[in-house]
Amino acid sequence: MDRFIYLTFDGLSRGLVYAAFALALVLIWRAARIVNFAQGSMAVAAVYVAYSVTNATGSYWLGFVVALLAGLLLGVLVERVVMRFVDHSSPLNGVVVALGLVLVLQGTLGIVYGNEYQPVETPFSRDAFEVGGIAMLSRYDLFVFAAVGTVVVVLTLLFTRTAVGLRMRAAAFAPDVSRLLGVSVGGMLTLGWALAAAVGSLAGMLVVPTELGVHPTAMDVVFVSAFTAAVVGGLDSPIGAVVGGLVVGLLLSYVSGYIDVTVAPMAILALLVLVLLGKPGGLFSSSKARVA
């Protein structure tokens, strides 16, 4: 029972990171109908920027803030300089361009920072509190809960309560009609990419210190988990992304804990296959059929 509680908290903590990363994928999918396969590399780039800033100034928090800003900027650049010019007649075009971007980003980061893992500090202790002799949560887990919780609340308020959020939703659902109503659809698209990349960067900042450290490919495995989470959730549903992230996090934690760590990736694939066979639209999808 102790073990179960520990694994559950561990799974929820990991799951929230996947949820944030899946949320970033969903944001771009909803805005542009592209699965952003470059999200992992973009997040790693932001983490490297934070790493440099933190090393230079000694302040984790300055690095943290700069990482989010770098994410925003990178999102704007990727949309304005690259994705805007992709022909959307086939959904595969965006995927191929995104994969190309992965190679460019990983290559560049490798040249600049080297292809070795560099350990990254966490701002809080990762030692779990013990309540009645049972290991539960660490301070860092609480930080992850708070950070992802804040993102979910802020995004929810943005989309449901603000004029910008209304414009973004309208632009995504009905671009032509939105333009006729004075909405700058291109601007909303750029904003969507910027927000998504910032959320992706946050996920990177949260997950990288808990694994081997920062490396140009550090987010590749996380991307697979988060992509599964997004697909399980239905790819166009923010709630689905969060639930999917938690499901994937818990599954990884239980499988690693009760069976073996090496089996965990297979469990993710099995989940993906099961969902695609049973409910191809995902658990929370609003649309009946999906193109890609």
Partner 1 sequence: MTGALLQVDGLTAGYGAAPVLHDVGLTVQPGEIVAVLGANGAGKTTLLRTLSGLVRSSRGRVVFDGADLAGTKVEHLVRRGIAHVPEGRGVVTELTVDENLRLGGLWRRDRADARKALDEVYELFPSLAQRRGFAGHQLSGGERQMLALGRALVGRPRLLLLDEPSLGLAPKVTGQIMALLRDLRERTGLAVLLVEQNVRSALSIADEGVVLALGRVVARNRASVLRDDADLRHAYLGF
Alpha-carbon distance 216 to 105, whole Å?
8
What's the min distance (Å) between Cβ of 184 and partner 1? 5
- Binding segment (CB under 8 A) for partner 1, from list 70-78, 108-116, 179-187, 266-274: 179-187
Q: Does 133 bind partner 1 (CB under 8 A)?
A: no
- The Cβ of residue 259 has, within 10 Å, a number of other Cβ atoms equal to 12
Q: Does 96 bind partner 1 (CB under 8 A)?
A: no
| CB contact at 8 A, 98 and 111 | no
Task: Decide whether 182 or 278 has the Cβ nearer to partner 1.
Answer: 182
Q: Please identify which residue in 133, 182, 262, 278 interacts with partner 1, judged by CB under 8 A.
A: 182
List 99, 153, 157, 181, residue binding partner 1 (CB under 8 A): 181
157 contacts partner 1 (rule: CB under 8 A): no
> Which one of residues 25, 67, 97, 183 is an interface residue with partner 1 (CB under 8 A)?
183
Q: Which two tokens stand for residue 112?
A: 């600049």
What's the Cα-to-Cα distance from 41 to each of 37, 53, 110, 209, 263, rounded to whole Å?
8, 18, 11, 16, 25
Q: How many residues does the chain have?
A: 292
CB atoms under 10 Å from CB of 263, counted, come to 13
Options 1, 81, 92, 163; binder of partner 1; rule CB under 8 A: 163
From residue 278, give the alpha-carbon distance in Å to each of 232, 235, 264, 270, 275: 11, 16, 21, 12, 5
- Binding status of residue 225 toward partner 1 by CB under 8 A: no
Q: Provide the binding-site residues for partner 1, judged by CB under 8 A.
A: 163, 166-167, 169-170, 173-174, 176-185, 286
